[in-house]
Amino acid sequence: MYAFGSSFIRANALDGRCLERSRLHLSLSHIGDYTRLKSSRVYAVGLAASEVSAPAFEVRLHAIRSFDGRPPVANKPRSRPLVLLGDGDGLPKLHATLTEALREKGLRVATRFTPHLTLSYGEATVPLQAIEPMRFIAKEFALVHSMLGQGRYNILGRWPLNG
């Protein structure tokens, strides 16, 4: 995916660069933007995730586009995520199951969220377009804390898909 992202960005003369390989992940849900996560929130997410039972499944990433991203702020241009979108039965089912489990634990979860894999951030708007599908088997999911503005992630927990 890194090679595809880098190639797509170059071929389309987009600003920005592909995120480091270690930062590439498929986002299933969004529970908020936090500089520092409270331990009670991490605990609640862990409880919800441990209740999710789903089998491993194939993910098929078949399209690319940019999301609107955050609006321009103080002389900084709009930052739009360039994302890959997937399909198949497993991805929407896992997203729905996890979202419900998070809500049952009292967490506020984004109501309108599209599972995606972010490749880069930039100003350009890339319209939805089909790509040659990329496939992999999802065998686990994780709680990832994105360290806002630092370009780093902390993996706070992993759960197997073997339901």
118 secondary structure, DSSP code: E
What percent of the chain has pLDDT above 70? 97
Structure confidence by residue, pLDDT tens digits, 12-54 = 999 888 999 988 999 998 887 777 778 898 899 999 999 999 9
pLDDT at 149: 66
Q: Are 136 and 60 in contact (CB under 8 A)?
A: no
57-66 vs 80-87, strand pairing mode: antiparallel
CA nearest neighbour of 62 among 143, 161, 157, 130: 130
Q: Cite the beta strand spans of 29-115 per DSSP E.
A: 57-66, 80-87
What percent of the chain has pLDDT above 90? 63
- Average pLDDT in the chain: 90
| Rounded Cα–Cα distance for residues 130 and 133 (Å) | 8
Second-level CATH architecture of 2-160: Alpha-Beta Complex (3.90)
Q: Are 90 and 58 in contact (CB under 8 A)?
A: yes
Q: Average the pLDDT over 106-117 and give the result.
A: 89
pLDDT above 80: residue 150:
no
- What's the one-letter identity of residue 163? G
Structure tokens at 97: 């199951």
| Rounded Cα–Cα distance for residues 133 and 60 (Å) | 6
pLDDT above 70: residue 148:
no
| Rounded Cα–Cα distance for residues 20 and 36 (Å) | 22
Domains of the chain, residue spans: 2-160
Structure confidence by residue, pLDDT tens digits, 64-98 = 999 998 777 787 877 899 999 998 789 999 999 99
pLDDT above 80: residue 147:
no
Could you report how far apart the first and last alpha carbons of the chain are, in Å?
A: 27
